[in-house]
Amino acid sequence: MRILVLNPNTSAAMTAEIAEAAQAAAQPGTEIVCRSPLFGAEAIDSAAESYLSAVGVMDVVDRIIENGEWDFDAVVLAGFGEHGRDALAEMLTVPVFDIAECAAHVAHLIGRRFSVVTTLARSIPAIEDRLLLAGLNAHCASVRACGLGTAQVDADPAGAVQAVVDAAARAIAEDGADVICLGCAGMAGVTAAISAKLGVPAVDGVAAAVALAQAVVGLGLSTSKAGVYAPGPDNPRSHWPLSTALGSGVPVS
């Protein structure tokens, strides 16, 4: 099985971290290929960047197809609370997995109420919206932020882990969560720290998505094309794929 994991931002370091997390969750025999957009933002902290990232992953997928290099059984979209899953589901016949939704699904399976801990408070509404639209908000106890941005996480990894653990502790004590979903990628050791210090399971979205992708592909199922995920009409587009029009390099080497 080959799974295409899409980091929606353009940070090579983040792409590498996501690839590592995905590979760690993969079964023997599952190959992980991780790609990021050929244009866009290095980090996604706004609706504007989230839309840009959605177009970026659409573009890179189309480039891979155009290059004749499409050979994947499933796609994981590795932006927690970002747009784009529905667009990819329209475009592709293989199933597409959003890491926020997958973390929430796994949380339902092992607990009664989950909280999400993300980085900055400004990301909370986007995650709430994603869960609401996915019909996965009824058992969401809260979405909390640890208050640290990407740069701060990079500068002080140990302090960042502690900040996430602190936010998770409040979610458990004040909001009644019994499972924590990590709404931020690239923080090694966070799930282990939460489980060890707080005694609750912690779910990493990338790992959850890889596991659910393997499960759904293993069942022989894929996106329903009988409803909203049917391919759209062939409306004329200009400058598409954008990366080709921009003269950006080929995505798959």
Nearer to its own copies, 162 or 195 (CB): 195
Among 68, 158, 228, 253, binds its own copies (CB under 8 A): 228
Among 90, 157, 162, 169, binds its own copies (CB under 8 A): 90
Distance spanning both ends of the chain, measured CA to CA = 19
Secondary element (H or E) of residue 242: helix 242-245
Among 5, 64, 80, 105, binds its own copies (CB under 8 A): 105
* Site for its own copies contains 93 (CB under 8 A): no
Nearer to its own copies, 68 or 220 (CB): 220
Report cis status (omega within 30 of 0) of the bond before 241: yes
Contact mark string toward its own copies, 137..176, x via CB under 8 A: xxx---------x----------------------x---x
Among 23, 152, 162, 248, binds its own copies (CB under 8 A): 248
In whole angstroms, give the CA distance from residue 200 to residue 175.
14
The answer to whether the beta carbons of residues 243 and 59 sit under 8 Å apart is yes
Give the dihedral sign, CA 47/50/52/58.
Answer: negative
Among 13, 110, 155, 250, binds its own copies (CB under 8 A): 110
Q: In this structure, which amino acid lies at residue 110?
A: I
Contact mark string toward its own copies, 32..61, x via CB under 8 A: -------xxxxxxxxxxxxxx-xx--x---
Helix axes 99-110, 205-218, angle to 10 degrees: 80
Among the listed residues 7, 2, 77, the one whose alpha carbon sits nearest the alpha carbon of residue 36: 7
* Site for its own copies contains 215 (CB under 8 A): yes
* Site for its own copies contains 242 (CB under 8 A): yes
By CB under 8 A, how many residues form the interface with its own copies? Answer: 94
Contact positions with its own copies (CB under 8 A) in 111-130: 111-113, 122, 125-126, 129
In whole angstroms, give the CA distance from residue 202 to residue 117.
10
